[in-house]
Amino acid sequence: MAERKTIVIDPVTRIEGHSKITIHLDEQGQVEDARFHVTQFRGFEKFCEGRPFSEMPSLMARICGICPVSHLIASAKACDALLAVKIPPTAEKLRRIFGLAQVVQSHALSLFHLSSPDLLLGMDADPAKSNLFGVLEKEPQLARDGIALRKFGQQIIEQLGGKRIHPAWVVPGGVSDPLSPENRDGILKSIPEALAIAVRSIAWLKATIERFRGEIASFGNFPSLFMGTIKEDGGLTFYDGKIRFVDATGRVVADGLNPGRYFDFLGEKVESWSYLKSAYYKPKGFPDGIYRVGPLARLNVSDRCGTPCADQELAEFHELQRSAVLSSFHYHQARLIEILYSIERLEQLLNDPEILDPHVRALARPNSLEGVGAAEAPRGTLFHHYKIDEQGLIRWCNLIIATGQNNLAMNRSVLQVAQHYVKGEKITHGMLNRVEAVIRAYDPCLRCSTHAVGQMALKVQLLSPQGTVLDEVVRS
Amino acid sequence: MNRILIIAYGNPLRSDDGVAWQAAEELERILPDRAQVICVHQLTPELAEAASCSDLVVFVDASRDGNPGSVLCQLLSPESGDFHFSHHLTPQEILVICHRLYSAKPRAFLVSVCGECFDHGEQFTPAAISAIPRVLSLVRTAMEDRFPSSFEDAGTF
């Protein structure tokens, strides 16, 4: 009698954090299930209990070295709600600038440094070459462009926040310091080059993805809901707005939802095989309430970007499919469009006549014992929810992070790719790389929910139900 | 030696792993204006661009290898090899990127302080603290282009 088998990919490479994938084969050797496991433990919600609420932005920024700005912003907004203050208009604009710079540098990391080897060298490339060094051998300008965009975003963060990683500039009630004319002019001066890079990168990607029709068809190409924050006019935003859900046909399922009441429409489920919770849209229940967040979702829910070049690209993006754009392979293109939007929007904000106003912080004591802050992080909608006591000490904290919201979709995507590409009992690098690449398309940030140590080696084993190793591939 | 770049890397929330940041703070205070000091948690490709604009690059980090408090200095070059990148790079990989993308070959050293404790914390062990003056001395020596003849702290030249 034939045996059921399991393929384990542990850990998954070129993503942020540690995870593994298991692929379960039936007696005929066909893929019957696949799971994306997050193998790190997260403790931030617990260990912040008892800390003064004013420490939360700095504490929460430590969740991640890639997207600390998003946690700073969401956390500070939750603290604004505790203070029950309206922050000064210039502080809000400066926070927007901060967040957009983060989008540029984070998306550039994902696309240019982590996913471009797949896109440039192909999914079946030699694993020894399928990395940044392979990219700089084959297309050095692309590598230089990635570095330049990362530097552009990081320099803005550094100029505003004082340092690139874990800046403490965003504070409850606003920001700690105003923007100086020198820094504003310096950033403005760097915008034309960044814009030119974004434009030619989109042109490169659109030409490149023609070679990936098979992957587009099978990389998370399934119906689901999409969630994102939009402005009142339906425009793309990263800082504030209302929540919109659209379904796979592009129809608006829910609109104008208050992110401060996320618990009314989002549920979370814990699975025994992963430390990452799975979020779902409550009205549809679990698991039918599967939804996606992040660049693909934001562009699916947005009617417009509100900046000229990005709007042209968005219109073209919406034409990729008559319905919502369903394939998760298109996260890459969506990411570049958001980079383009962010650069254009940065220029608008920096040219705002009030942007140098020194009044950037509202001071107050806590006026509410509960507060929610939400923002669009590069990877998707981020919620911070705090409850404090009369002394201002944190008594309860809940974080809903993009990667958790994409968890169901990532699992389904892994299954789809595995069913399409995994054949028989012999493991090939191309097969494995595609399974990993679909996860990379989501750009999961596992550090956002956990704490990571160690190296990212890749070990794949094909196991019998008794645990016998039938095949093994190791990458160091 | 006109343009000098000091890249200190490590995690300042992991006790001795952050000793390079402490050394960098001292270096920033004593070095001339033509020296740029950057503190980072890990090495990323963007640093290659900054390195390409420098004549001398000194990487300072903490290491688990060796006797606590000892300092190891190593001359670096952008030799080809089997390179990988996920989220962080080695100093040599930074130099490879610097060479291949920007056609620059700055003189480069790695100065490693052997730490004793890498647990969570912001305090340094006495061994790590005691190594900082030697780090400063080595950086000054590198700036004066006196390597390797006057080099005393043992290195892999």
Is any Cβ of chain A less than 8 angstroms from the Cβ of B53?
no
Strand partners, A370: A387
Please name the residues in contact with A182: beta carbons below 8 A apart, sequence gap of 6 or more.
Answer: none
pLDDT recorded at residue A270: 79
Q: Choose between A263 and B13: higher pLDDT.
A: A263
Instruction: Give the minimum alpha-carbon distance from B74 to chain A in angstroms, rounded to a whole number.
Output: 23
User: Does A128 contact B82 at a Cβ distance shorter than 8 Å?
Assistant: yes
pLDDT exceeding 90 applies to what percent of chain A? 64
Question: At A402, is the pLDDT very low, low, confident or very high (cuts 50, 70, 90)?
Answer: confident
Q: What percentage of chain A reaches a pLDDT higher than 70?
A: 87
Dihedral pair phi/psi, residue A174, rounded to 5°: 150, -130
> Is residue A271's pLDDT more than 80?
no
- Give the gap in angstroms from C-alpha B80 to the nearest C-alpha of chain A: 10
- A9 has pLDDT over 50: yes
More confident residue, B132 or A272: B132
| Optimal mutation site among B84, B89, B94, interface A, most CBs of chain A within 10 A | B84
Which residues of chain A neighbour B44 with C-beta distances below 8 Å? 150
| Choice between B32 and A190, residue whose per-residue pLDDT is larger | A190
Residue A156 C-beta-side C-alpha neighbours within 13 Å: 32
Please state whether beta strands A174-175 and A19-25 pair in parallel, antiparallel, or not at all (unpaired): unpaired
Averaged confidence pLDDT in chain B: 87
Contacts of A147 in chain B (CB under 8 A): 45-46, 48-49, 101
Residue A456 has pLDDT above 50, yes or no: no
Q: What is the mean pLDDT of residues A435-461?
A: 58
- Contact status of A129 with chain B (Cβ, < 8 Å): no
For residue A193, name the pLDDT band (cuts at 50, 70, 90): very high
**Partner residue facing A456 (CB), from B45, B86, B102:** B86
Distance from CA of A105 to the nearest CA of B (A): 11
Mean pLDDT of A27-35: 77
* Strand residue runs (E) in A273-318: 278-281, 291-292
Give the residue-averaged pLDDT of A129-150: 92
Q: What is the mean pLDDT of residues A114-143?
A: 89
Beta carbons of A136 and B100 less than 8 Å apart: yes
Other Cβ atoms closer than 10 A to A387: 16
So what's the pLDDT on residue B124?
A: 96
Average per-residue pLDDT in chain A?
A: 88
User: Would you call B1 helix, strand, or coil by DSSP?
Assistant: coil
Identify the pLDDT of residue A454: 29
pLDDT band at B1 (very low <50, low <70, confident <90, very high): low
A204-230 average pLDDT score: 95
Of B84, B86, B101, Cβ closest to residue A143: B101
CB contact under 8 A, A132 and B45: yes
Confidence class for position A6, pLDDT limits 50, 70, 90 = confident
DSSP B43: B
Q: Please, which pLDDT band fits residue B152 given cuts at 50, 70 and 90?
A: very low
For position B109, what pLDDT does the model report?
A: 94
Q: Is pLDDT at A172 greater than 90 in this prediction?
A: yes
SS3 labels along A184-223: HHHHHHHHHHHHHHHHHHHHHHHHHHHHHHHHHHHCCCCC
Q: For the residues A97-126, what does the mean pLDDT come to?
A: 93
Mean pLDDT to the nearest integer, A439-457 = 54
Q: Compute how many other C-beta atoms are within 10 angstroms of the C-beta atom of residue A234.
A: 16
Contact B48 A147 (CB under 8 A): yes
Among B41, B83, B93, select the one facing A165 at the smallest CB separation.
B41
Tell me the nearest-neighbour CA distance from A132 into chain B, angstroms. 6
**Residue contact A133–B83, C-beta within 8 A:** yes
Is A194 a residue whose pLDDT tops 60?
yes
How many Å lie between the alpha carbon of B156 and the closest alpha carbon of chain A?
25
Of A132, A163, A164, the CB nearest to B85: A132
Lowest mean pLDDT among A191-205, A279-293, A419-433: A419-433
Q: What pLDDT score does A14 carry?
A: 52
pLDDT at A156: 96
With contact defined as beta carbons under 8 Å apart, do B47 and B94 qualify?
A: yes
The half-sphere exposure of A339 on its side-chain side, counting CA atoms within 13 A, is 33
Q: What is the mean pLDDT of residues A300-325?
A: 96
Q: List alpha helices for chain B, DSSP H.
A: 19-30, 46-52, 91-102, 126-143
Partner residue facing B46 (CB), from A14, A131, A150: A150
Which of B90, B92, B110, B91 has the alpha carbon at shortest distance from B156?
Answer: B110
**Would an 8 Å CB–CB cutoff place B120 in contact with chain A?**
no
Q: What is the pLDDT of residues B34-67, one digit of tens each?
A: 789 999 888 989 999 999 999 999 999 999 888 9
Residue B147: pLDDT band with limits 50, 70, 90: low
Question: Is the ipTM reported for this complex over the cut 0.90?
Answer: no
A440 touches chain B (CB under 8 A): no
Adjacency order of strands within the sheet including A5-10: A31-38, A19-25, A5-10, A458-463, A469-475
Mean pLDDT lowest for which of A102-106, B28-32, B69-73? B28-32
Lowest average pLDDT, out of A16-20, A99-103, A269-273, A381-385, goes to A16-20
Query: Is residue A418 within 8 Å of residue A9, measured between CB atoms?
Result: no
Residue B10, pLDDT > 70, answer: yes
**Three-class SS of residue A65?**
coil
- Residue A383, pLDDT > 80, answer yes
- pLDDT confidence of residue B149: 44
Banded pLDDT at A162 (limits 50, 70, 90)? confident
